Each structure stands twice: as structure tokens, then as C-alpha cells.
Amino acid sequence: MRISAVRVRQVSGTMATDGPFWEERLMRPIDIYPDYRKQPPVGWGGQQVDERHFKLTQWFVQLETDEGAVGIAGPLWPDAARLVLTQLAPIVIGKDPLASELLWDQMHRLQVHGRQGDAMIALSAVDCALWDLKGRALGQPVWRLLGGPTREAVPAYASMLGYAVEDLGLVRERAQAAKAEGYTAQKWFFRHGPMSGHEGLRKNVALVRTLRETLGDDYDIMLDCWQSLNFDYAVSLCARIEEFQPRWLEEPFMPDRIDSHVKLKAKTRIPLSGAEHEYTRWGFKRFVEKDALDILQPDIYWCGGLSETLKITAYATVHDLIVIPHGHSTPIGIHYSVAQSPIHAPYQEYLVKWNLINQHFLARPVWPKDGSIHLPEGPGVGMDLDPAKIEHEEQMKV
């Protein structure tokens, strides 16, 4: 069996919404500049066309073989999809798709300027498509190829990106609703960073206080800073919210500021998580060697694919670190999670709004049930697209 073609499928469709889909955005590193800090929520993954409709355009990678087996991965953004065709397709065409270690190494070594960013995201997508193809060719779900399952379901934490955080009444309402759905943990996103001053800091603290009062003491609360703090602000924020016992504080600094992570870790009892914006085992090695984080969060679709996430995980568990991948892709995430020891992978992130977008075109989307994500059935990852959801499609093939 050989890879005979690499195809990028650009698909468009419309998702129904109950009002504007993205209610609020999280703070960002660029928010130190006033013009950016004032920007409204961006249309991640699409565009709101009216009060009830959100237009989506997404890109999926499809690997095809001379024996009819295919593997699909996505969605990914257009620049990365372009690199799949221009940089990676010539490497993998004609090769054995089951030799995923060989193909990963060749793609990595031939992209000497592609160790991070869009080039690594492109490589990750090809690697994930290879795993989907491998499972289909062998007639097995990927979790079985990884040696799983270690359990029948994985607790999901509700990741509340895009929900309003300024209106604390709405925060209480949404937090209570998620708890009622069976989620035993929630992650919320701060809106205000260092340049928002004392008022912004008070609002951040009020958000955490509201969550703890709403959800009770025996409930995990996670808080995401999305790389947007500086050291002094992070110390001040941690001192004010430590009494509410967050399960972790996520991505306080941009990933290259490893020393700031180390210094903050020495100043607070709140566990630190992060590195979703880091790449490959060599990037994560820096965090582990400096004992900068308590929880590692590689993104399977960004850090180098499922193959590389497994290597990062193996290295992390030597140091008894928890690994909970960033939740860009629930379908491949659950295959990873159910093949890990529960003590090292206690949760899977479930981005509530993001999954409505990222799984919109899938024929068999993966949804939590009673707050947990259960073993998927069927061979591969389960990435077939639903033609009924596709209003328009364009294809590019090598």
C-alpha cells in the first residue's frame, strides 16, 4: 500500500446559533496596545452573518492510497493547508502510510525552517491523517493501536472560551448549567491583562470568586491567561485568587519566557499549566528540565501530531507530570486520552463552543455524555465529513 494522492478539501457551510456565537474574547498578549485591547471578539473559525447564522469555511487534509484506504485530519487554517500541499505532499506521496515514524522524521528533517508555527501545524495534520488511515487500513480504532483502553470514558472539563465574563450573573448561569450537565470541572478565560490596571485586576478576581461561590468547594476550577501576563501582575493575581484554590493557572506567559514560569511557580501554591503553543519534544524538554510547569498541554494538531504527543507524554511521565492536551480536536484527543494512565491524564479538555465549530462538518462528532467523553467506535479516528453539512467545496490535490 502506497500514498497515491494528498488532497486539501476546503468546505463551507452554515451553523445555526442562538444569537451572536462569540460573546466575549479572552485577553491576548497584543492587548498591551490600546487599539488591540478594545477589539471585539474575532470570528474564530467563521463569521457571524446574522443573529442566527454563523458561516464556516474549513480546511481538511485527506491522504489517499492505491488500495483505497484514506485518512483525514482537520480542520486546520489555510496557510498550514497550503504547506501540506507545497512542502509535505512531495515527501509522503509514494510512501508506505503505515510507516508513520519514517514519514514524521523525513518531514521534520526536510523542513529545517519548519520547526514551529504553520509548518509544524501542517506536519501535525499529516501525522494525524496517517493515524486515521492506519486505523482504517487495519480495521481498528486508533486507541487500540495505542495500547488502550485504560478506561471506558475520560472526564471532560468544560472549557468556556467565548462565553461572557463581564456579566457575573451570566457567569453564574452558565457555570451552573455546565455543572448540571455533568462536568466536574470548568475552565474560564480572563478578559483583562496588566494594561487594564487595578479595575481589570478586580474584575479578574471577581470572576474567580463568582465561580467558586457558584460551583462550591469540591469542584475543579481552571483559569486561562492565554500567555498575556507579565511577572509582577501574575504574582499579584495569584496572591488574590489563591484562596479560591484553582486547579491550575494556565499559560501565564508566552512560551519562550520559561524563566518567568519558574519564578512564578516559586511564588504561588497554584499549579501552573501550559505549553499548548510549544512544539515538539525538544520544545517541551525546556519546560521539564527547568521544572517550569505542573501540567503540560501539548496540542496534538500543533505540536507535531499524535506521534509527537506520545513522545512528549512518555518523557513527561518520567518526571511524573500530568499531560492534558489542548482541546483543539476532541476526536483525536479521546483516542490519545483513553490510551494513557488515568493518573497522568485525569481530564480531557472540551472547548464547548469551539467543538460546535470544529466538529460541524464531521459525520460522527464526539460529544460528552454526563460530563465524560466515551470510547469512540469504528476504525481510525472517525474523521469522515458529512456531505449534508457541506454547502460548497473546493479541492486541491497533489
Using one digit for the tens of pLDDT, what is the confidence trace for 4-39? Answer: 999 999 999 999 999 999 999 999 999 999 999 999
- pLDDT tens-digit map of 303-333: 999 999 999 999 999 999 999 999 999 999 9
Q: What does the pLDDT average to over 273-280? A: 98
Q: What is the pLDDT of residue 44?
A: 77
Q: How far apart are CA 260 and CA 267, in angstroms?
A: 11
Alpha helices in 273-351 (DSSP H): 280-289, 305-318, 330-337
Active site residue 326: yes
Amino acid of residue 171: V
The one catalytic residue among 192, 277, 326, 360: 326
pTM strictly above 0.75: yes
**The predicted structure's pLDDT at residue 41:** 86
Please, what are the domains in the chain?
3-11+57-139 (3.30.390.10), 144-374 (3.20.20.120)
How much of the chain, in percent, has pLDDT values that exceed 90?
98
Q: Give the three cell numbers for residue 274.
A: 501550559
**Which single residue is written with the C-alpha cell 508566552?**
254
Q: How many C-beta neighbours within 10 Å does residue 360 have?
A: 22
Cβ pair 37, 178 in contact under 8 A: no
Q: Which of 107, 138, 151, 109 shows the shortest CA–CA distance to 125?
A: 107
Mean pLDDT over residues 74-89, rounded? 97
Predicted local confidence at residue 83, as pLDDT: 98
- pLDDT tens string 161-211: 999 999 999 999 999 999 999 999 999 999 999 999 999 999 999 999 999
